[in-house]
Structure 1
Amino acid sequence: MKRRLLAMLAFGFAAGAFAQDSPSKAHIRFIFENPKLQPSTYVIDINEDGTGHFQSQTGTAPTADTEGITAEPLDVDIRIVDPLLGFLFKTARSHNFFDVACESTRAKMAFTGKKALMYTGPDGDGSCTFNWSRDQQIMKIADSLIATAYTLQVGQRLTLEHEHNRLGLDTELESLQEAVKQGQAQQLQNIAPQLQSIANDENVMERARNRARQLLNGEKAG
């Protein structure tokens, strides 16, 4: 419990809401923080029924890409589906509700972001914080949720590009297809509306529309 409270305090704005969550339902929170990235901090909340929420904050790092698209805070409801959903809660329960020493003791590990996993529910609660963990299941969760956050951020850029820079959509979608192939973008159902809007827009170049359709259909990029 002490580690859980320390972790929550260390991540500032994210702590309060989690502490107020009802323990009658199982709930997982993932927090990521790296001031050198945009967004610098984000929180993913996931209920056992798959409903959830994503909230990000921008930091002091540059916020605009080469096309002038500016990163903005994102605050959206999400849905997490199997197999990731089941893996999250199974792993939490097999790891004492994340009340474990998950940080690696290896010296001189490169900093990839401060991460916290928190679980609360009728069966228990706990948390751990880490940069990198020796536990492969813990790292798989972190990698999968970071990939989910990446998908949501791409969805935000797709919306902006569809409105202001349609010529940039093909490159953005090509990058997303490659990220999906590499496992660096996951849970694409959360940006299906953006992809469908692009696929349906006759004012968007056909190649970009085809990429959007492929992503919607779960097809692998060629």
Structure 2
Amino acid sequence: MAFEFTKAAAIFRRRAALWLCFASLCFGLQAQEPAVVTFTLDFPGSQPDHYVISISSDGHSTYDSNSKLSDDSEGDPFHLDFVVSDAARARVLDLVKRAKYFQGELDSKKRNLASTGTKTLAYRDATQSTQASYNYSPIPAVQELTSFFQNFSSTLEFGHRIEYFHHYQKLALDEELKRLEDTARQHGLEELQVIAPILQRVAEDASVINPVRARAQRLLRQAAAPRK
């Protein structure tokens, strides 16, 4: 009888140890799950009229939009996987914290404001998942996040168009790179280094006219410059 009890106790201890190992493994995997911040814009009539940017706490990020590469296009879905800079990642996460992880109302609720599109900020980590939509927010951290993500979208859409023009419409590159330079001077871009590979291909292409290649080279130097 004592032998059977001892044997049963040993089995119980082994099962308990296995369960604890399994629980620890699950907890460890959960703890390692990166936080994700997502910004979505829906603005009918704008270009693009829908896009989503997601930035993870480990830097891995995605962008999706339904932008059009030409006026007669019905839509050219665009997807990009990329890695943001450590500075951008830290900035976004700090702003999310200052915005209290989007818990509560973000919108001003003022009726006399023009619509600038429905914006949605979302945050997800191992312990919480929150989101809130707004047209205009009076919260400084939300305003800064909105500006960052909208400028980031502009950067990525420039890259999308430049890559398309480089392949199919080289004569359009000059005007597009002029616009990119102008937007950069007006501080309307973020994370220019993400589209550096596209600019590099233009700069190295001997079939592209020299003024365009020179513009691409100037932008590459700007993309590589230390961030202030």
What secondary structure, in the 3-state scheme, does the structure 1 residue paired with 2:129 have? Answer: strand
1:149 is matched with 153
8 Å Cα contact 2:39/2:149 also seen in 1: yes
State which drifts further: 86-95 or 149-158.
Answer: 86-95
Q: CA deviation at 1:84?
A: 2.6
2:70 is matched with 64
Alpha-carbon distance in 1 for matches of 2:86, 2:219: 18
8 Å Cα contact 2:52/2:63 also seen in 1: yes
| 100, 110, 113: which one aligns with 1:109 | 113
Gaps of 5+ in 1: 1-21
| 49, 64, 77: which one aligns with 1:55 | 64
Q: CA deviation at 1:134?
A: 0.7
Alpha-carbon distance in 2 for matches of 1:91, 1:186: 15
Does structure 1 residue 89 correspond to structure 2 residue 98? Answer: no
1:32 is matched with 41
Q: CA deviation at 1:183?
A: 2.1
1:121 is matched with 125
8 Å Cα contact 1:27/1:119 also seen in 2: yes
After superposition, the C-alpha distances for 1:134-192 in whole angstroms (9 at most, x for unaligned) are 11221111111111111111111111111222121111001001111212221112211
TM-score, structure 1 as length reference: 0.80
8 Å Cα contact 2:36/2:125 also seen in 1: yes
8 Å Cα contact 1:27/1:121 also seen in 2: yes
1:181 is matched with 185
Aligned length: 194
Q: CA deviation at 1:206?
A: 0.9
What secondary structure, in the 3-state scheme, does the structure 2 residue paired with 1:218 have? Answer: helix
User: Which protein has the larger Cα radius of gyration, Structure 1 or Structure 2?
Assistant: 2
2:217 is matched with 213
After superposition, the C-alpha distances for 1:118-142 in whole angstroms (9 at most, x for unaligned) are 0011353322111111112211111
The higher-RCO structure (CA 8 Å, 6+ apart) is: 1
Q: What is the RMSD of the two structures over their aligned residues, measured on CA atoms?
A: 2.2
Alpha-carbon distance in 1 for matches of 2:200, 2:69: 26
Distance 1:71 1:197, change over 3 A: farther
After superposition, the C-alpha distances for 1:175-222 in whole angstroms (9 at most, x for unaligned) are 0011112122211122111100000011111111111111111079xx
Alpha-carbon distance in 1 for matches of 2:152, 2:61: 12
1:42 is matched with 51
Gaps of 5+ in 2: 1-29
TM-score, structure 2 as length reference: 0.78
Alpha-carbon distance in 1 for matches of 2:122, 2:107: 14
Runs of 4+ in 1 over 6 A off after TM superposition: none
Alpha-carbon distance in 2 for matches of 1:165, 1:48: 37
Pick the structure with more helix per residue.
Answer: 2
Alpha-carbon distance in 2 for matches of 1:204, 1:69: 25
Q: CA deviation at 1:95?
A: 2.4
